[in-house]
Chains A and B, each alone.
Chain A
Amino acid sequence: DAEITQSPRHKITETGRQVTLACHQTWNHNNMFWYRQDLGHGLRLIHYSYGVQDTNKGEVSDGYSVSRSNTEDLPLTLESAASSQTSVYFCASSGGGRARGGGMEQYFGPGTRLTVT
Chain B
Amino acid sequence: QQQVKQSPQSLIVQKGGISIINCAYENTAFDYFPWYQQFPGKGPALLIAIRPDVSEKKEGRFTISFNKSAKQFSLHIMDSQPGDSATYFCAAHDYKLSFGAGTTVTVRA
Residues of chain A at the chain B interface (Cβ within 8 Å):
33, 35, 40-45, 48, 58, 90, 92, 100-111
The answer to whether B96 and A48 touch across the interface, beta carbons within 8 angstroms, is yes
Say whether, besides A104-B32, A104-B34, A58 and B89 are in contact (CB < 8 Å): no
Chain A at the B interface: SS class: mixed
The answer to whether A42 and B97 touch across the interface, beta carbons within 8 angstroms, is no
Residue of B nearest to A31 (CB): B96
Residues of chain B at the chain A interface (Cβ within 8 Å):
2, 6, 9, 31-32, 34, 36, 41-46, 49, 89, 93-102
A48-B34 Cα distance, complex, nearest whole Å:
19
A-B contact count (CB 8 A): 59
Chain A proximity of B63: nearest CB distance (Å) = 19
A106-B96 Cα distance, complex, nearest whole Å:
10
Chain A proximity of B101: nearest CB distance (Å) = 4
Q: For residue A111, which residues in chain B have a CB less than 8 angstroms away from its CB?
A: 41-43
The answer to whether A108 and B49 touch across the interface, beta carbons within 8 angstroms, is no
The answer to whether B97 and A103 touch across the interface, beta carbons within 8 angstroms, is yes
